[in-house]
Amino acid sequence: MIDHQLRRSLTRQCLLQELVDTPRSLSDVSEIGHRIPTCLVCVIIEQSLCLIFMFDIMHIYIIELQRVVMDVRETWATRLGFILAATGSAVGLGNIWRFPFLTGESGGAAFLVVYLALVLVVGLPVLLVEFVIGRRSKRNPIGAFDQLNHSQWKIAGAVGAIAGFIILSYYSVVGGWVIQYLLASFTGGYGTDAQAFFMSTASGPTTILFHAVFMALVAGIVALGVRNGLEKAATVMVPSVIILLVGMAIYGSTLSGAGEAYQYYLYPELSTLLTDAVSVLPAAAGQAFFTLSLGMGVMITYSSYLAEDRNLLRDSGLIVLIDTGIAILAGLVVFPFLFTQGVTPGEGGAGSIFISLAGAFNGLPAGTLIGGVFFFMLLLAALSSAFSIFEVVVSFTIDTFEITRVRASVLLGVIIFLIGIPTALDLTYLDTYDKFANNILLILGGLLLSLFIGWVYASDATHELRKGRAESWIGPVWINVVRYFVPPVLIITLGLAVIEYYDFIQSTFF
């Protein structure tokens, strides 16, 4: 047994070494590269609202997919593995379920504006912070700070691990909803009343059962080591999700409620934008971190397997682009259907995407078939994200308590399942967990990481970024943003979030 484990660990080490050592040409990414102009700021603002850009992203995926199919297998991990793993982690329920639901709850367009701004000026720099820490240390978030000789900053890893427990516990519950909708697609549809169907899905004993199924799948993926399969699934999953969403968005645009929906979603009231911005800041920042899988060390872990000659800026730009584009699309789907069904966005709440799509699929010819494909893709997206959270929690536990990986996976699977049970019984608990983990813990994690890179590790970090041949002006700009801009924004956000959370707890439970 020990011998077997040793051999596996040696093989893994050799593979990783090979991954790091293999010199690879940049020509393979140049194809992607020339599609991403230097000014990412302009790209995101200009193109994110435009469906054409989705086809561009799909094109990139198709080019890569063709290469992978035609090429030798070993190069998979070296060339695409990272982008796939990181996109697989980022694209998930956060984009398709959480983003439209929060936008609806927070008043629509003003939230969208603040969210987009935060993704750009905070999300992207913090993503680079995590990439730099990961590639520099070549360790998981806990080991990373030891490796960089700054052990006391491990507290950031611990904050991340706690966030991971909480997030995964209810993420798995929502994953269970997706499984239920998937099954419903094949067994008679989503009922006649989309809202009632959602309510019966979202809480109760069946919800707990499917929460257990989802959690077992996540733990099983780790135990069976089929992680690669999941990453490969991302090549199909991401374009499929995009195609389905584009199709539904186009269909949605023909509905009677579309005009009102776009007004609500895309046109902020300039007169109240500033006051609205302050009130939605905690939620928008929490969402920016959640959707990009930041503040928890996931991206540290993934970039720790990354080769030195990767252009970190380019990779992070691509990930942000895909992730943000999918979220915007999800909104373009959800709101027209909600308005047409006469459900106000606030009323839809956590059920927004499920209610709007079930209603839509019900009315379409072959709707349950399209629904089946959609929910299957959503399940893949949710699994690859959940997996990345679980990875961090498992490696934290292995490092801290020195137990085996399989044992840690089973144990943690059970613990996280138990923690999630209240959220499967009452949506109020789901809100309570969700706000605490995202608006407070992830922001705190991100703040600590930014302070570390900006104030303690700045010169090494800039050096690390430059290694990937990022344009030379990027390093100083980035480090100044991380040093002077990101921390104050996150401190203000955190303060507002704590006050808001206190009020929320008071008004909900007392």
Please tell me whether residue 95 binds ligand TRP under the rule CB under 6 A. Answer: yes
Would you say 214 and 416 are in contact if contact means Cβ atoms under 8 Å apart? Answer: no
Nearer to ligand TRP, 165 or 339 (CB): 165
The one-letter code for the residue type at 442 is L
Residues 6+ apart with CB under 8 A from 410: 219, 223
For position 90 contacting ligand TRP by CB under 6 A, the verdict is: yes
Residue from 169, 185, 291, 341 that binds ligand TRP (CB under 6 A)?
A: 291
217 touches ligand TRP (CB under 6 A): no
| Window contacting ligand TRP (CB under 6 A); options: 190-198, 363-371, 384-392, 489-497 | 384-392
Q: Is 395 in the site for ligand TRP (CB under 6 A)?
A: no
Residue 192 near residue 184 (C-beta atoms within 8 A): no
Q: Which two tokens stand for residue 281?
A: 């800041």
Give the nearer residue to ligand TRP in terms of CB position, either 178 or 442.
442
- Among candidate residues 357, 438, 417, 439, the one with its CA nearest the CA of residue 176: 417
In one-letter notation, the amino acid at residue 378 is L
Among 78, 87, 89, 172, binds ligand TRP (CB under 6 A): 89
Contact residue for ligand TRP among 298, 318, 350, 441 (CB under 6 A): 298
The set of residues, in sequence order, having a beta carbon less than 8 Å from that of 74 and lying 6+ positions away, is: 18
* Sole binder of ligand TRP in the list 36, 178, 179, 296 (CB under 6 A): 296
Does residue 87 bind ligand TRP (CB under 6 A)? no
User: Taking CA 288 as the corner, what is the angle to CA 475 and CA 422, rounded to the nearest 5 degrees?
Assistant: 140
- Nearer to ligand TRP (CB atom), residue 99 or residue 339: 99
337-343's contacts with Cβ under 8 Å and 24+ in sequence apart are 337/252, 337/255, 337/257, 338/104, 338/257, 338/261, 339/255, 339/257, 339/258, 339/260, 339/261, 339/264, 340/252, 340/255, 340/256, 340/257, 340/258, 340/261, 341/194, 341/257, 342/257, 343/195
Residue type, 224: L
- Least distance from ligand TRP to the Cβ atom of residue 449, Å: 12
> Which one-letter DSSP state was computed for residue 106?
T
Longest CA–CA separation in the chain, Å: 69
Binding mask 3-42 for ligand TRP (x = CB under 6 A): ----------------------------------------
**CB closer to ligand TRP, 439 vs 462:** 439
Nearest residue to ligand TRP, by Cβ distance, number only: 94
Contact 80, 68 (CB under 8 A): yes
Determine which residue in the list 87, 207, 385, 395 makes contact with ligand TRP, applying CB under 6 A. 385
Residue count of the chain: 510
x-or-dash pattern for ligand TRP, window 233-272, by CB under 6 A?
Answer: ----------------------------------------
CA atoms within 13 A on the CB side of 283: 24
Give yes or no for residue 290 binding ligand TRP (CB under 6 A): yes
Region binding ligand TRP by CB under 6 A among candidate stretches 129-137, 240-248, 290-298, 486-494 = 290-298
Count, in order, helices (H) and strands (E) of the chain.
28, 0
Residues 94, 157, 286, 348: which binds ligand TRP (CB under 6 A)? 94
Nearest to 504 by CA among 450, 454, 429: 429
> Taking CB under 6 A as the rule, which mask of x and - marks residues 431-470 in contact with ligand TRP?
-----------x----------------------------
Whole-number Å distance between alpha carbons of 258 and 248: 12
Q: Write each residue from 162 to 181 as x if it is in contact with ligand TRP (CB under 6 A), else as -, in one continuous string.
A: -----x--------------
Q: Does 352 bind ligand TRP (CB under 6 A)?
A: no
**How many residues belong to the site for ligand TRP (CB under 6 A)?**
16
- Min dist CB 327 to ligand TRP, Å, is 8
Q: How far is the CB of 292 from ligand TRP (least distance, A)?
A: 6
Residues that bind ligand TRP (CB under 6 A): 89-90, 92-95, 167, 290-291, 293, 296, 298, 385, 388-389, 442
